[in-house]
Structure 1
Amino acid sequence: MSIRVACLCGKVVIDLHGQPVARANCHCASCRDFYGVAMFSATAWDPASVQMEASEVRTFSHPEKQLKKAFCATCGEVVLGTNRLGMHVVPNAMLHRVGEEGSHSRWAPTMHLYYRQRVVDVLDELPKYLDGWDGALYSPE
């Protein structure tokens, strides 16, 4: 599989090849603070599966944590992150923008991560891992 996504103004283009490693909504405090969102909905890819064409890209590394993000210098959209495991994370909003048939279900998150750190409850049927995806699950009881 191959897909091409772009920032809002089109000056940063990312080609994704193969299959993502994970599709998740992350509730960790690090993502919340770094990306400025209540939860970060993203698809994680092996770095070898991601190629970026960008004349207008800027990057920012977290001053204390192993997080990095790339954003378009023209429109400001965050186009790519790198998490502490070295995986590249693409915001799901960019993937949904492609608009091809079936893209919503293809890129929809399959889990919640770090749900223990959530700032908002989410009512859906996805598994909600209290920490990483190999840990305990949240139970509303």
Structure 2
Amino acid sequence: MTIACTCPCGHTTIAFSGEPVLRVHCHCRICQKVYDADYADFVMLSARQIARPQASDIRYAKHRPPPAVRRGTCPNCEHPVVAWMPLAPFLGLAFVPTANLPAGVKLPEPALHSFYHRRVKHVQDDVPKVAGYWASQWAVVRRFFTAWWLRGSRRG
């Protein structure tokens, strides 16, 4: 199964295979700025699940020193399209905004609110909230690999 994801203006499209591994609400200041929202709502995938888009269709930027997420936005509407986080050679994560997924795609329930110490306002839900830079980074990566491993073990 391949899922095409399009920015709000329809100019930039990416595609991924399979199902999203994890869903996260990120409250970091960079996500607040890039998403122009109180927090970013995105799904996470293995970088290998993404069909590499043509670079000219996406404007990439790093907003802090490494370890940095490389965020890609549409050059037309400037909305987020995809982000990449390399972890090791041949191993990386990809982030796709849930707003860009087509209607009807089954989304995982949010796994956590990361960087919750940077929240604009309190979110009243039962989703775990993680505060602090390293605690948030660790929580996101740990939950991703746990979900990825569990998903693979159910198939095998």
TM-score when scaled to structure 2? 0.68
Structure 1 or 2: more helix by fraction: 2
* 1:59 positional shift: 1.4
Structure 1's unaligned 5+ residue stretches are 136-141
Task: Name the amino acid aligned to 1:99.
Answer: A
- For the 8 Å contact 1:13–1:52, the answer to whether it is kept is no
Corresponding position of 1:64: 65
CA distance in 1, matches of 2:9, 2:121: 31
Corresponding position of 1:99: 103
Structure 2's unaligned 5+ residue stretches are 144-156
* 1:38 positional shift: 2.0
Residues 34-69 of structure 1 deviation map (CA, whole Å, 9 limit, x = unaligned): 544321111111110011444532212225341211
| TM alignment of 1:1-141, pairs within 5 A | 1-54=1-54, 55-65=56-66, 66-83=68-85, 85=87, 86-95=92-101, 98-100=102-104, 103=105, 106-130=107-131, 131-132=135-136, 133=139
Do the aligned partners of residues 78 and 34 (structure 1) sit closer, same or farther apart at CA in structure 2, a change above 3 Å counting?
A: closer
- For the 8 Å contact 2:20–2:107, the answer to whether it is kept is no
Task: Name the amino acid aligned to 2:114.
Answer: L
Q: Secondary structure at the match of 2:38?
A: coil
State the number of aligned residues.
Answer: 130
Do the aligned partners of residues 114 and 84 (structure 1) sit closer, same or farther apart at CA in structure 2, a change above 3 Å counting?
A: farther
Aligned-residue identity in percent: 28
TM-score when scaled to structure 1? 0.74
Q: Secondary structure at the match of 2:107?
A: helix
CA RMSD, Structure 1 to Structure 2 (Å)? 2.6
